[in-house]
Structure 1
Amino acid sequence: MDTQKSFSQPDAGHLYLVPTPIGNLEDMTYRAVRTLKDVDLIAAEDTRHTQQLLNHFEISTHQISFHEHNSQARIPELVAKMQAGQDIAQVSDAGMPSISDPGHDLVMACIAAKIAVIPLPGANAGMTALIASGLSPQPFYFWGFLPRKKGDLATTLDELADFPETIIFYEAPHRLKKTLQALAKHLGGERQIVVCRELTKKFEEFIRGDLKQVVQWSTETEIRGEFVLIVEGSHETHAELDNDLAAQPLRVQVETWMERGERTNDAIKKVAKANGLKRQVVYDDYHQITKE
């Protein structure tokens, strides 16, 4: 057990997690500006991008690059600086640090080294999209960026298909169409979704509808900007099968769905969903695959 009193040692080094605007520069807080001016060093995901923000607010603090490609080498250096008494602010290109950047590893290293980690509230794309989506804001499940590989994407979406929570995804413009198609395939075309584009910017836009409609929209629209996807949670329960069938072995359940016209893989998926199991468990049982 460990207790952090963030401001009990004013002469010690601290790590400040400073959110930056996701689009509109007016979303920068007074405290964030002051913190970036007061710290000894800013660890930035992209120093060129962050320099534009610093210039706008007349902040002259020196930067050091800190991103996924150099984080493991950089973390010991940053920790050593804080142990020597320097205050460091970590920023991502937009929004909260440590969400889709290597900041989490830095936070863990600071906690291990007894360095105070001080978070600042501020802009966040996921929450901004959620509260305006019109879908249930609670409970919600934040996922972020989905896997890029097709197999990993399919496995992930199959696992998320039964989640009752509203789900938050991030997506880049060049991958949006394929992601929407995958969501429709694995979650069902009737599932409600809100596509949130260019949040807080001049061309902010919310596209609301079911996945089937939004997939069609994506094929007819030039995809530009950054996206947050807010997806309705599942309303189905694990009691999708009738009680008699649910009491049968998994293999029998799969065969019953196949007799009703489902293909093998789709039958396996339905049985997994109905029983609250991972698809691979049902697949192995049906094909009598044993793992040592």
Structure 2
Amino acid sequence: MTHSTTPISGGTGILYIVATPIGNLKDITRRAVEILESVDWVAAEDTRHTRPLLQYLGMNKTLISLHEHNEKSRSEQLLEKLRNGENGALVSDAGTPLINDPGYYLVKLLREKGVDVVPIPGPSAVITALCAAGLPTARFSYEGFLPAKSNKRLAVLATLVDDVRTLVFYESPHRVITSLADFQTAFGSDREMVVARELTKKFEQFVSGTIAEVVEYFTENQDKVRGEFVFMLSGAEEKEVVELSTMDELILTLLKQNLPVKQISEIVADYAGIKKKPIYNRVLELKKE
């Protein structure tokens, strides 16, 4: 089922998704200020975080909380307000809403009901960190926050070991040391890594090097383990794709030696640097011919 992005008639209001500063309040855009001034209310993840921003901008707005614990019920209430012709803005504690923050349910609901949703772009910690990290950015994967427990964290990291894209994570300061240790366990010591902290703030810092070097830095400088963190990891080296047919000659030679199929598949897979399963199946095919 498709939904039109054209505003519907009947005086229905608009919800603006407004990006706010991730640290430096001067990063608010002129358009964001204009929108916040014009709306009837502001839905915020935590009104205690948003009120100082609005005060900084000289605004006194009705604030409505919308967080992970009340999003479904609150979304229905906001839908009614918009249907009654009110305009609203959705902000998160910092940065672009919905990027690891509440709002997905609300936006999906409004789209389904034909209510216009308009993005007001601005700061995002993911993009801010990447653009200054010196890692490849043509392709990257944002993985959000990793699990709090080490065993679950390692399980997630294990699924990303062969990913060739630059990997981006958020991390809480009290887990930085243990999380970095898990990165070293999962990816080894030599993968290139960049850690950004306190982006756009007074003590903004980028720490780069191998995983081992980054681990060593924060282990020896634990006074720096504070603030908001973004972990960025270079992707795995792309493996050359090997056509199975190019291995036929080697497989046939080994078959003539009367070696077991399993042993042949292990030898060829190790030689070609690919998984054994497709080689095993190819050996069986050639053996039948």
Give the aligned length. 259
Structure 1 portions without partners, runs of 5+? 258-272, 278-292
What is the CA-CA distance between 1:203 and the residue it aligns to? 0.7
Whole-angstrom CA distance in 2 between matches of 1:63 and 1:157: 39
Cα-to-partner distance string for 1:136-189 (whole Å, 9 max, x where unaligned): 111111111112233332221111111111111111111111111111111121
Change (3 A) 1:276 1:73: farther
Matching residue's letter, 1:76: E
Contact in 2 for aligned 1:173/1:227 (Cα 8 Å): yes
Change (3 A) 1:184 1:249: farther
Contact in 2 for aligned 1:238/1:275 (Cα 8 Å): no
Match of 1:228 in 2: 230
Change (3 A) 1:4 1:49: same
What is the CA-CA distance between 1:238 and the residue it aligns to? 7.4
Matching residue's letter, 1:233: G
Contact in 1 for aligned 2:46/2:92 (Cα 8 Å): yes
Pairwise mapping of residues 25-104 of structure 1 onto structure 2 (< 5 A)?
25-104=25-104
What is the CA-CA distance between 1:10 and the residue it aligns to? 8.6
SS at match of 2:158: helix
Structure-2-length-normalised TM-score: 0.81
Contact in 2 for aligned 1:238/1:276 (Cα 8 Å): no
Match of 1:3 in 2: 4
Give the share of equivalent positions with the same residue, in percent: 41
Change (3 A) 1:110 1:213: same
- The list of structure 1 runs, each at least 4 consecutive aligned residues, that deviate by more than 3 angstroms after superposition, is 242-245, 273-277
Contact in 1 for aligned 2:194/2:209 (Cα 8 Å): yes
Aligned-residue CA RMSD (Å): 2.9
What is the CA-CA distance between 1:108 and the residue it aligns to? 0.6
Cα-to-partner distance string for 1:96-150 (whole Å, 9 max, x where unaligned): 0011111111111111111111111100111011010011111111111112233
Whole-angstrom CA distance in 2 between matches of 1:67 and 1:209: 37
Whole-angstrom CA distance in 1 between matches of 2:41 and 2:111: 19
Cα-to-partner distance string for 1:230-258 (whole Å, 9 max, x where unaligned): 11000152779x9679xx769x85xx99x
SS at match of 2:232: strand
Structure 2 portions without partners, runs of 5+? 252-260, 278-289
Whole-angstrom CA distance in 1 between matches of 2:201 and 2:141: 25
Structure label with greater radius of gyration: 2
